[in-house]
């Protein structure tokens, strides 16, 4: 049986105004995971439109398309095309779970929630000629999933091909989180077995890893076992965590000992009122700067995430946020305009209040205003968002943030990293066009190597893992 799996390009990825490098970081692990359930006799083709031109003149038996909100219309167009060609089309992913009735009109079968139990069930049903219209996830267990079909991934097209996921979901439930609806109706956070996760890591070449888990430190016992098992692997890696997990116990020290060099942290807002509004309880009452000092003392780079447009925001929020991020020596920042994704509590509340402006999913990219604002006008919000990116990544502020480290070595690394990520676009475009992006990986691994001697900013009066390097591969893209 011929099975084609497609990740259509997000709308913004094909725009001349967005950065190609941001969409050439990670391969489509979700589809590669599902492919592992196919029969050895199946002919499986996996295509990622972010890094290659799709071939759509083929006639596979089954087409599986992963749908996010800003590739939904593209996904539906591809689905309609292949159905006209006679293929059996399956749609799954975050957007399908959020809006199943919309997606169902473009598919023969839709998948709601995680697919580790439903996709193998579909394959069995399809072979017997009785595939169902809707497959709804029931079992939340990834302890025994088969190895990901990494042979289907075109490694040379990605800067960070060694991405990995060892858990599903998140233990927290922020009102604006796109993924919360995906895990509704069952466990919202669960992990692999430690031995299985370590075995998957062993399969990956080189030194660098990128954990795409929503919260790598979310299950303390699992994370502690994972980091203990990684200590002798000579790996360098980055992942995501919350403020409370960084401040609690010694798990972050174990992560640093295992090779963590960078962490994505959802600060989101400096306003307590906004945190309460967003149900981001894990941040309420937590000392952001203490967490930053702890990370810097361990040599761990910080990529801070911030959301603009929450109801308590005013015209000063942009300057205040950028000044705070620079003053605390964050190496990179990811800014977002608040976006009410369908399926979230935020969307339901705004829709009930008549605040949703439209359902043009192409514009739900966290870069455009798609709802009726409160404390700011839509024009002020968009203008402030654009200003924040330009201001934070100005050479002046890159230099200011870099100087916030006690170690000259770390300051230089910070400066080179932040500048290299945002100020050398022609180089990244050249590497992508010549299909040589993966050739940068050995350089990244060398940069990520442990620094001998010296700590980062804020290490005074605290002991940590001395000399780890606070540089990582590039920031996660929300």
Domain locations in the chain? 2-136, 159-447
Output the CA torsion sign for 383, 50, 306, 280: positive
Contacts of 216 (CB under 8 A, 6+ apart): 166, 167, 223, 239, 240, 241, 255
Q: Mapping DSSP to helix (H, G, I), strand (E, B) and coil, where does residue 281 land?
A: helix
CA 110 to CA 147: how far, in whole Å? 24
Q: Mapping DSSP to helix (H, G, I), strand (E, B) and coil, where does residue 307 land?
A: strand
Query: Given this model, what pLDDT does residue 431 score?
Result: 80
Q: Mapping DSSP to helix (H, G, I), strand (E, B) and coil, where does residue 401 land?
A: helix
List pLDDT tens digits, range 116-151. 999 999 999 999 999 999 999 999 889 888 999 999
Q: Which residues of the chain have pLDDT under 50?
A: 452-478
Query: Given this model, what pLDDT does residue 411 score?
Result: 86
Distance of CA 453 to CAs 253, 297, 331, 456, Å? Answer: 17, 12, 20, 10
List pLDDT tens digits, range 322-371. 999 999 999 999 999 999 999 999 999 999 999 999 999 999 999 999 99
Closest of 469, 472, 471 to residue 453, by C-alpha:
469
> Are residues 157 and 52 in contact, defined by beta-carbon separation less than 8 angstroms?
yes
> Are residues 155 and 438 in contact, defined by beta-carbon separation less than 8 angstroms?
yes
Alpha helices of 328-424 — where are they, by DSSP H?
345-352, 378-392, 395-402, 408-423
Q: Mapping DSSP to helix (H, G, I), strand (E, B) and coil, where does residue 166 land?
A: coil
Output the CA torsion sign for 175, 177, 180, 181: positive
The CATH homologous superfamily to which domain 2-136 belongs is Cobalamin-binding domain (3.40.50.280)
Pairing of strands 167-169, 109-112: unpaired
Query: Given this model, what pLDDT does residue 450 score?
Result: 64
Closest of 22, 107, 37 to residue 65, by C-alpha:
107
Distance of CA 127 to CAs 62, 124, 140, 201, Å? Answer: 11, 5, 25, 33
Greatest CA separation for the chain: 68
Query: Given this model, what pLDDT does residue 273 score?
Result: 74
CA 194 to CA 328: how far, in whole Å? 34
Look up the pTM and report it: 0.89
Query: Given this model, what pLDDT does residue 59 score?
Result: 92
The CATH homologous superfamily to which domain 159-447 belongs is Aldolase class I (3.20.20.70)
Query: Given this model, what pLDDT does residue 183 score?
Result: 79
DSSP structure string for 35-84: HTTS-TTSEEEEEETTTS----S---SEEEEE--GGGHHHHHHHHHHHHH
Q: Mapping DSSP to helix (H, G, I), strand (E, B) and coil, where does residue 420 land?
A: helix
Query: Given this model, what pLDDT does residue 433 score?
Result: 77
Query: Given this model, what pLDDT does residue 24 score?
Result: 87
């Amino acid at each position: 049986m011929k099975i084609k799996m497609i990740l259509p390009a997000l709308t913004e990825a094909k725009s001349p105004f967005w950065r190609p490098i941001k969409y050439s970081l990670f391969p489509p692990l979700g589809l590669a995971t599902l492919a592992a359930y196919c029969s050895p006799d199946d002919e499986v083709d996996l295509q990622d439109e972010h890094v290659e031109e799709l071939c759509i003149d083929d006639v596979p038996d089954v087409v599986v398309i992963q749908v996010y909100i800003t590739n939904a219309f593209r996904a539906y167009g591809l689905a309609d095309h292949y159905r006209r060609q006679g293929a059996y089309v399956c749609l799954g992913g975050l957007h399908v779970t959020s809006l199943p009735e919309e997606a169902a009109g473009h598919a023969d079968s839709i998948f709601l929630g995680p697919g580790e139990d439903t996709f193998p069930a579909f394959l069995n049903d399809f072979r017997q000629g009785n595939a169902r219209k809707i497959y709804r996830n029931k079992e939340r267990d990834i302890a025994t999933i088969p190895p990901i079909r990494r042979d289907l991934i075109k490694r040379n097209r990605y800067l960070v091909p060694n991405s990995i996921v060892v858990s599903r979901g998140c233990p927290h439930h922020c009102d604006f989180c796109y993924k919360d609806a995906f895990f509704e109706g069952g466990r919202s956070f669960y992990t692999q077995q430690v031995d299985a996760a370590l075995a998957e890591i062993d399969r990956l070449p080189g030194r660098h890893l990128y954990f795409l888990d929503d919260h790598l430190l979310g299950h303390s016992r699992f994370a502690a076992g994972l980091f203990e098992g990684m200590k002798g692997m000579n790996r360098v890696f980055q992942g995501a965590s919350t403020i409370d997990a960084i401040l609690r116990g010694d798990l972050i020290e174990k992560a640093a000992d295992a090779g963590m060099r960078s962490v994505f942290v959802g600060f989101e807002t400096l306003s307590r009122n906004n945190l309460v509004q967003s149900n981001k309880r894990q941040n309420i009452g937590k000392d952001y700067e203490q967490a930053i000092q702890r990370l810097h003392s361990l040599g761990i780079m910080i990529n801070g995430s911030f959301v603009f447009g929450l109801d308590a925001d005013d015209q000063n929020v942009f300057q205040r946020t950028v000044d705070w991020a620079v003053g605390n020596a964050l190496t990179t920042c990811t800014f977002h305009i608040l976006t009410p994704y369908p399926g979230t509590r935020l969307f339901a509340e705004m829709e009930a209040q008549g605040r949703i402006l439209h359902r043009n999913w192409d514009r739900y990219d966290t870069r455009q205003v798609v709802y009726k604002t409160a404390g700011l006008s839509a024009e002020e919000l968009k203008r402030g968002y654009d200003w924040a990116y330009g201001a934070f990544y100005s050479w002046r502020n890159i230099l200011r943030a870099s100087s916030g480290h006690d170690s000259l070595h770390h300051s230089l690394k910070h400066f080179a990293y932040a500048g290299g990520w945002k100020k050398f676009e022609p180089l990244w475009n050249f590497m992508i066009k010549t299909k040589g992006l993966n050739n940068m990986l050995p350089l990244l691994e060398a940069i990520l190597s442990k620094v001998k001697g010296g700590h980062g900013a804020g290490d005074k009066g605290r002991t940590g893992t001395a000399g780890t390097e606070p540089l990582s591969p590039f920031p996660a893209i929300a």
